A = this chain, B = another copy of it.
């Protein structure tokens, strides 16, 4: 049998209360007994039970992570960074891919609640706001990662999507492009801000906004290729395309190749997120990078602070994106 605190107490010749105290480093315990207890713990290979400890009101040392799809490279990267930060606190992460499905979202939230996770990181667009509000009401700390919802009083960590969209577009403008199209990801809040940045960049530089150049697609290669095909089939086709994420941008590159358009000479393209797709894409994809590691660190720190009730105030942290210039963009002549 797994040794319990009783075994340790008995073998060390002290009470379980004492053992508990040395484990948690509480109260006054003489160096001598402390040493003795540690010794016995080692001998017995004793590991305190998180379960039992959680039952007495302590933490479960587990947090839940809600994401749409772990197989999406962006979210995989997010999960990885969050995990890295969480590990420093000895927190385990329960991964919950919702598929943006409200039933799965509900199921997972219910599971997490029954498990009494210490907190939640939500990185997927919320399907059912009532559910989240209920969680907040129960006092479970929450951090929204890269999603925002002004109506919720919670910690939020995002990248400045508006500025990212602006930067991407301005980069193309500086390369003397005037006919810049955009592919917006459907049903995605962050994409709206990126789009807004695109619009404003054009406006500020007094460039005409062409409705035909604004396309919408779900985050899917073939949908992307479809709208790119439309774009490239126009008599006055764009000389540059800003895709609101790297997957969409990959579709642009593929379709351009099919149309025998050289990238970046005949068509420049910018993506968003700086995922592995941007790296391995050929030519390398110019894209807007989110400081994911840093965002993850802030998220975990905020969550832990709230869990440990070190802070009662909620924060909204917005970090700056960074344009990563690769080979998919150049001056238009």
Interface residues of A (CB under 8 A from B): 2, 47-52, 54-55, 60-62, 69-71, 73, 76-77, 79-80, 83-84, 87, 90, 92-97, 104, 107-108, 110-116, 138, 221, 247, 250, 253-254, 257, 276-277, 279-282
Closest partner residue, chain B, to A94 (CB atom): B92
**Whole-angstrom distance between the alpha carbons of A76 and B74 in the complex?**
11
List 13 extra interface pairs beyond A52-B55, A79-B95, A83-B96, CB under 8 A: A49-B116, A50-B114, A51-B54, A55-B55, A70-B70, A70-B80, A71-B77, A71-B79, A73-B76, A73-B276, A92-B96, A93-B94, A221-B280
Chain B residues positioned under 8 Å from A71 (CB to CB): 73, 76-77, 79-80, 276
The answer to whether A51 and B47 have CB atoms under 8 Å apart is no
**Contact (Cβ within 8 A) A70 B76:** yes
Provide the residues of chain B in CB contact with A108, threshold 8 Å. 87
Q: List 9 A-B contacts (CB under 8 A).
A: A48-B114, A52-B55, A55-B55, A69-B80, A83-B97, A84-B97, A87-B104, A90-B111, A254-B282
Q: Are A2 and B250 in contact (CB under 8 A)?
A: no
Picked from B50, B70, B104, B113, the residue with its CB within 8 Å of the CB of A47 is B113
* B contact residues around A94 at 8 Å (CB): 62, 92-95
**Residues of B with C-beta under 8 A to A279:** 221
Distance in Å from the Cβ of A265 to the closest Cβ of chain B? 16
A247 to B279, CA, bound (A): 11
Question: How distant is A63 from chain B, measured CB to nearest CB, in Å?
Answer: 10
Output the least CB separation between A302 and chain B (Å).
Answer: 20
Say yes or no: A282 contacts B282, CB within 8 Å.
yes
Beta-carbon contact of B50 and A70 below 8 Å: no
Contacts of A83 in B (CB 8 A): 70, 95-97
Inter-chain contact A112/B97, CB cutoff 8 Å:
no
Please pick, from B79, B277, B282, the residue contacting A70 in the complex, using a CB distance under 8 A. Answer: B79
Considering the complex, give the chain B residue whose CB is closest to the CB of A246. Answer: B280
Q: A54 — which chain B residues lie within 8 A by C-beta? A: 51
Q: How far is the CA of A254 from the CA of B279 in the complex (A)?
A: 11
Please name the residue on chain B nearest to A54 by beta carbon.
B51
- Asked if A61 contacts B115 (CB within 8 A), the reply is yes
| A69: nearest chain-B partner, CB-CB | B80
**In the complex, are the beta carbons of A115 and B51 less than 8 A apart?**
yes
The answer for the CA separation of A287 and B278 in the assembled complex, in Å, is 21
